[in-house]
């Protein structure tokens, strides 16, 4: 008697989270995971599941450099982007249009991300953001994220299948803002471009789903350091928690070797000066100076505790970036005590992970911006 065997294809789920206040290296981590999948002859998909174009994930591939805002960080490798249908994702058609043009100018041909399940940011959400003093004081990227979230909850959300003319009218009326003909024209053209060029995606057609976080854990709308938080959730996606077997999920928690902070809010306890080559990490009129300080291990533990990460049976990996910018003169705060760390890679990595309460399966580090990560052998 023949025994019938049934084989099941197990989808790999990977979640990339910023451990603190953003700018940790999530983009290069996502691109590295895409590279791994492609090298294994797998078919990866990057899923955006929170936030919107306030992401500024810098990636390098061969001679091309790109800042991923509305596109996922696998874009230079030809990996498509899907906006989650479960979590709150936001899209600005104008940002999509300009980023698509920038990619095309660099010789990168990619279809527009599948944004059909996201909510739309209008120019009037952005203008309302700019003139709101409280919004500025709490911290903003100037991309209209918080205002759109508030409009969605208090009035209505706009979606890619809605009438764009009606969106503009209702948004301007909601904020009591005068219409701007040039902005309206640009929005309508961008909206049509986005809707015409979108590639519809079925995530079940892919082998590896890579969830790309857009902000750090301490900027989460519910568990961050209020009021200096973003408008959306940025922790482990609810759909990952509810839908997938924990054994199939790997969570990559990313941190630099030092603390960074854009905008108002937490100030590093031990400020240091670091030369940063990323063009996004400079002064801007919305966020002010880019702040850097010695990495505070207790902050990492607080972030993991606030998100109750040890409640889940996922596989956790620690990713440490910017090892190359560590000079050996920095101090790390561990249980409110200071100790100096030599610039040996072993000392850097061990001084971080050995003082974290969360257990990690693997530890990776990078000493360059090209998505080349090395597994640390303990």
Q: Where are the domains of the chain?
A: 12-121+200-375, 123-197
Strand ranges (E), 42-196 = 44-48, 57-61, 64-68, 81-83, 90-91, 119-120
Quick one: pLDDT band at residue 15, thresholds 50, 70, 90? very high
Token match 């990866």: residue?
44
Q: How far is CA 154 from the centre of its chain?
A: 26
3-state secondary structure labels for all residues of 49-85:
CCECCCCCEEEEECCEEEEECCCCCCHHHCCCEEECC
Quick one: pLDDT band at residue 258, thresholds 50, 70, 90? confident
Which contiguous run of DSSP H or E holds residue 354?
A: none
Of 163-172, 234-243, 340-349, give the lowest mean pLDDT range: 340-349
Quick one: pLDDT band at residue 330, thresholds 50, 70, 90? very low
How far apart are alpha carbons 323 and 356 in whole angstroms? 18
Region 316-320: mean pLDDT is 96
Torsion of CA 236, 242, 244, 246, to 10 degrees: 60
Note whether 270 and 294 are within 8 A (CB). yes
Of 77-81, 156-160, 162-166, 347-351, give the lowest mean pLDDT range: 347-351
Tokens matching residue 253: 């928690």
- Averaged pLDDT of the chain: 86
Q: What is the pLDDT of residue 370?
A: 84
Quick one: pLDDT band at residue 5, thresholds 50, 70, 90? very low
Tokens matching residue 176: 């009591």
Q: What is the pLDDT of residue 135?
A: 64
| pLDDT exceeds cutoff 80 at 327 | no
Q: Which range has the top average pLDDT, 90-99, 230-239, 267-276?
A: 90-99
Global pTM value: 0.90
- The maximal CA–CA distance of the chain, rounded, in angstroms, is 78
Q: How far is CA 17 from the centre of its chain?
A: 7
| pLDDT exceeds cutoff 60 at 269 | yes
The number of helices, as runs of H, and strands, as runs of E, in the chain is 10, 16
* Percent of the chain clearing pLDDT 90 (strictly above): 61
Note whether 115 and 71 are within 8 A (CB). no
| pLDDT exceeds cutoff 80 at 251 | yes
| pLDDT exceeds cutoff 50 at 7 | no
Q: How far is CA 119 from the centre of its chain?
A: 17
pLDDT digits (tens, 9 = 90+) for 94-125: 999 999 999 999 999 777 899 999 999 999 99
How far apart are alpha carbons 255 and 257 in whole angstroms? 7
Which CATH fold would you assign to the domain 12-121+200-375? Adenylosuccinate Synthetase; Chain A, domain 1 (3.40.440)
Tell which residue, 295, 351, 254, 326, has the closest CA to residue 25: 254
pLDDT digits (tens, 9 = 90+) for 28-76: 999 999 999 999 999 999 999 998 998 889 999 988 999 999 999 999 9
Quick one: pLDDT band at residue 326, thresholds 50, 70, 90? low
| pLDDT exceeds cutoff 70 at 300 | yes
Tokens matching residue 146: 């918080």
| pLDDT exceeds cutoff 50 at 376 | yes
Q: What is the pLDDT of residue 140?
A: 63
Note whether 77 and 111 are within 8 A (CB). no
| pLDDT exceeds cutoff 50 at 206 | yes
Q: What is the pLDDT of residue 281?
A: 52
Region 239-250: mean pLDDT is 94
């Amino acid at each position: 008697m023949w025994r019938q065997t049934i084989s099941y294809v197990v989808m790999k789920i990977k979640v990339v989270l910023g451990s603190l206040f953003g700018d940790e290296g999530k983009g290069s981590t996502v691109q590295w995971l895409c590279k791994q999948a492609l090298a294994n002859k797998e078919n990866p998909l990057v899923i955006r599941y929170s936030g919107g174009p306030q992401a500024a994930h810098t990636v390098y591939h061969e001679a091309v450099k790109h800042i991923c805002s509305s596109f996922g960080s696998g874009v230079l490798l030809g990996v498509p982007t899907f906006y989650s249908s479960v979590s709150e994702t936001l899209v600005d058609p104008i940002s999509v249009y300009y980023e698509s043009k920038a990619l095309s100018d660099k010789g990168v041909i990619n279809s527009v991300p599948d944004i059909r399940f996201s909510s739309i940011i209008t120019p009037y959400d952005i203008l309302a953001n700019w003139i709101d003093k409280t919004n500025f004081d709490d911290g903003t990227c100037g991309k209209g994220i918080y205002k759109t979230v508030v409009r969605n909850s208090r009035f209505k959300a706009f979606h890619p299948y809605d009438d764009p003319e009606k969106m503009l009218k209702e948004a301007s009326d909601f904020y009591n803002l005068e219409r701007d003909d040039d902005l309206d024209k640009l929005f309508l053209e961008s909206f049509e471009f986005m809707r015409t060029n979108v590639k519809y995606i079925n995530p079940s057609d892919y082998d590896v789903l890579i969830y790309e976080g857009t902000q750090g854990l301490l900027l989460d709308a519910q568990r961050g350091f209020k009021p200096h938080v973003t408008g959306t959730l940025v922790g482990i996606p609810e759909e990952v928690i509810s839908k997938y077997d924990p054994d199939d999920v790997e969570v990559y928690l990313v941190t630099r070797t030092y603390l960074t902070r854009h905008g108002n809010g937490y100030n590093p306890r031990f400020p240091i000066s670091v030369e940063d080559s990323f063009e996004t990490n400079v002064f801007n009129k919305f966020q002010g100076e880019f702040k850097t300080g010695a990495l505070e291990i207790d902050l990492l533990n607080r972030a993991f505790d606030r998100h109750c990460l040890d409640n889940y049976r996922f596989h956790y990996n620690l990713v440490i970036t910017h090892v190359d910018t560590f000079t050996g003169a920095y101090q790390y705060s561990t249980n409110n005590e200071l100790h100096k760390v030599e610039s040996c890679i072993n000392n850097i990595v061990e001084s971080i992970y050995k003082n974290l309460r969360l257990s990690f399966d693997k530890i990776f580090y990078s000493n360059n911006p090209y998505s080349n990560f090395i597994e640390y052998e303990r």
